[in-house]
Amino acid sequence: MPMTFDASSRATPNVLVALHSSGAGGRQWQGWRGLLPAAVELRTPDLLGYGLAGWGDGAAVTLDDEAQALHAEIAAVPGGVHLLGHSYGGSVALQVALRWPQHVRSLTLYEPVRFALLREAEPALWSGIVAVGREIGTLLRERGPEGAAERFVDYWSRAGAWQGLAPQRRQAVATRMAKVCAEFEALFGDPVPEAAYQALRMPLRLLAGTRSPRPAQRVAERLVQRVPGSVLVRLDGLGHLGPIEDAARVAAQCLPALLRPLPLAA
């Protein structure tokens, strides 16, 4: 049976802004265009430091910086946008929603890595992911981009995943490792208190793979406890790279928000 939009969707555009994960870039979503209803306009901006998006190599960055860089494009859409985010992109999507809820119709987030949610509540997981992030930074300084990229890819995928990547893909990830390290520090320095997420009122759909590293799964679990009306969908057999490895399966989880647009958050 073909999918159709609720009649209310004709009154406002259905713009889906998809924010990519660390090390990827907006091209991460290029295979999604054929997986979404034709009436959805998919926009895939680069975050700071990817493509033409400005960022000084080696400079610090914050989640507010990332959100501010997207604000003009999002605010210009009449009726607001649906936000889709993966990993670090999901963290940025949450920052946009916290700052400008009036511009966000819905959130669909695959393992948004707001690790600060673990800082006090789950110190062992917090110290573990901080150690991983800082290790990657040390490898970048001591062994160069490829050494850091191997640890990064193997952590989020599986041991040996880096060796299985095509040379062109390895080079693309390695060239972005300085920004990836800055992103880790942005997450570790995140000052948003856990209670702040209770203010979110737009529909929030959290997605998590059952094979993903535990810190990412626990962040999703803590968010669903905090955000009123949010739901958490576990995707059996998928890992942290689910939106890339099984785009069709993850894209299907975006449809509830897109097919039945809801009023903007108050």
pLDDT tens per residue across span 22-37:
999 999 999 999 999 9
Task: Report the C-alpha gap between 86 and 78 in whole angstroms.
Answer: 24
* pLDDT for the residue numbered 256: 82
Closest of 202, 189, 159 to residue 63, by C-alpha:
189
Q: Which residue in the block uniquely carries the two structure tokens 């939009």? A: 5
Residue 262 has pLDDT above 60, yes or no: no
* pLDDT for the residue numbered 261: 46
* pLDDT for the residue numbered 225: 95
* pLDDT for the residue numbered 78: 92
Residue 7 has pLDDT above 70, yes or no: no
Helix boundaries (H) for 41-176: 63-75, 88-99, 123-143, 145-156, 167-174
Task: Report the C-alpha gap between 29 and 131 in whole angstroms.
Answer: 30
- pLDDT, tens digit (0-9, with 9 covering 90-100), for 169-183: 899 899 999 999 999
Residue 205 has pLDDT above 80, yes or no: yes
Strands across the sheet with 40-43, in order? 40-43, 14-19, 81-86, 104-110, 204-209, 231-235
Residue 235 has pLDDT above 50, yes or no: yes
* pLDDT for the residue numbered 127: 97
